[in-house]
Structure 1
Amino acid sequence: MTHQHDASASHAEQALRAAALRVTGPRVATLEAVHGHAHADTDTVIRAVREQLPAVSHQAVYDSLHALTEAGLIRRIQPHGLVARYESRVGDNHHHLVCRSCDLIVDVACQHGAAPCMMPADPRGFAIDEAELIFWGLCPDCQAAAQPSAS
């Protein structure tokens, strides 16, 4: 193993301990996989974890994703019509751009900063602490592909 990997494993272990989670191989590898693959779906995370732990079960990765999400170490997003995705960018009140054609997901900063950045006209007594915004459209590559070529 490289020194850089040892440093990231150490960071993952520290994050797990700070969140009062037991440090296990699947949890460390899952956290590293999410950090290494922005907006990864479960299959991508499982493949990345299996590069480190070839014998890990699907269930161990699912359980790790759930525990890491519950602890706030990763964030689960699921834009309508897409499979759940996981990201390591948490706690900064950012939003997402999603391409309707290729399903690319890109982070976008919140224009207003602090959460929640928007409030409903009538919150109906709710104590709102977060607003989740997803912007839909076509990414630059899909826009270019949709343009008729000049002949």
Structure 2
Amino acid sequence: MSSTALLPHGMEAAELIRRAGLRVTEPRRAVVEALQVSPHASADAVFQIVALSVPQTSLQSVYNALGDFEDAGLVRRIEPAGRPGLFELRVDDNHHHVICTECGAIADVDCTVGEAPCLTPSDTHGFAVHAAEVTYWGTCPDCSSAAIAAASVNP
């Protein structure tokens, strides 16, 4: 359900890392490339992908890279209820997410009304609101189709 995250036109992973003010290493490059292939991935899932191309990389190196990237604004961490933290390259646009309650598939949902923060709280309690984070929960098309098919077989 998630689309491949694209780097800015013509930009390589190494250039993106350098522009964030970080030193380019093979594990860091591989982490960016893993998130391109698998947006909304947990650190463990990123590690599984990175280990294919850089087998000497440790899980701790992946966690370190993700932490450095988050601090530098290169990745966004989302924490859906009951799920591990997930990481994505799509940052700074205040988009939201829809998550399937059956299979866990995640898709991005663009802000649909006005400029960020998308939602206007009824009471800010004095806070200067900069962003809103919304998570929609539902059933993805694949799981909905499977449920309909199962119901037609077992009425």
TM superposition score category, shorter chain reference: 0.7 to 0.9
CA distance in structure 1 between the aligned counterparts of 2:17 and 2:145, rounded to whole angstroms:
43
Tell me which moved more, 55-64 or 21-30.
21-30
Residues 48-100 of structure 1, C-alpha deviations (whole Å, 9 max, x = no match): 11112101111110000111111111111111011111111112221111111
* The one of 125, 132, 152 aligned to 1:149: 152
Aligned to 1:128: 129
Higher relative contact order (CA 8 A, sep 6+): 2
Determine whether 1:23 maps to 2:12: no
CA distance in structure 2 between the aligned counterparts of 1:128 and 1:55, rounded to whole angstroms:
43
CA distance in structure 1 between the aligned counterparts of 2:142 and 2:13, rounded to whole angstroms:
34
Could you state the TM-score of these two structures normalised by the residue count of structure 1? 0.87
Aligned to 2:50: 49
Instruction: Report % sequence identity.
Output: 46
Question: Do 1:93 and 1:113's aligned partners in 2 also have CA atoms closer than 8 Å?
Answer: no
CA distance in structure 2 between the aligned counterparts of 1:32 and 1:146, rounded to whole angstroms:
35
> Which runs of at least 4 in structure 1 moved beyond 4 Å after TM superposition?
none
Aligned to 2:119: 118
RMSD (Å) for aligned C-alpha atoms: 1.5
Gaps of 5+ in 1: 1-9
Deviation at 1:113, TM superposition (A): 4.5
Paired residue total: 142
CA distance in structure 1 between the aligned counterparts of 2:142 and 2:18, rounded to whole angstroms:
41
Aligned to 2:103: 102
Gaps of 5+ in 2: 1-10
Could you state the TM-score of these two structures normalised by the residue count of structure 2? 0.85
